[in-house]
């Protein structure tokens, strides 16, 4: 948890801020946001912000998954990402 910059005094805050500003530049690309809705750290409020920055992104909320959604719902997680990649590859 200490590695997550939560205030400007954190040593990696500047990098986080720069990354955050750059995210919107990816809105012209296919994006899938998979989100564990029970995540104790990256709560649904963070998902809201990602959606604000990437309004054309596809969103797949995992209602019963937490921070480790790839463990909590492994099969569905893998299937959804595989489906997204196949759909993306098929686009002209």
How does pLDDT run across 12-43, given as a tens digit for each residue?
Answer: 899 988 988 899 899 999 999 999 999 998 99
Residue 62: its H or E element? strand 58-62
Q: Is position 25 within any domain?
A: no
Determine, yes or no, domain membership for 20.
no
Residue 2 has pLDDT above 80, yes or no: no
Query: Residue 8 falls within a domain, yes or no?
Result: no
> Is residue 77 a part of any domain in this protein?
yes
Q: 9 in a domain, yes or no?
A: no
**Could you give the number of structural domains in the chain?**
1
Any domain includes 79: yes
CA distance 52 to 29: 15
Establish if 44 belongs to a structural domain.
yes
Nearest to 81 by CA among 30, 32, 35, 47: 32
Residue 22 domain flag: no
- Per-residue pLDDT reduced to its tens digit, 36-64: 999 998 999 999 999 999 999 999 999 99
Provide the Cα torsion 35, 40, 42, 45; round to 10°: 90
């Amino acid at each position: 948890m200490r590695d997550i910059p939560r205030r400007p005094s954190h040593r990696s805050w500047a990098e986080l801020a720069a990354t955050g500003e750059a995210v919107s530049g990816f809105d012209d690309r296919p994006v899938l946001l998979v989100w564990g809705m029970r995540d104790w750290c990256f709560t649904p409020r963070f998902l809201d912000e990602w959606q604000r920055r990437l309004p054309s992104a596809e969103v797949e909320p995992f209602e019963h998954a937490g921070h480790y959604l790839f463990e909590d719902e492994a099969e569905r997680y893998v299937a959804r990402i595989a489906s997204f990649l196949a759909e993306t590859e098929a686009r002209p």
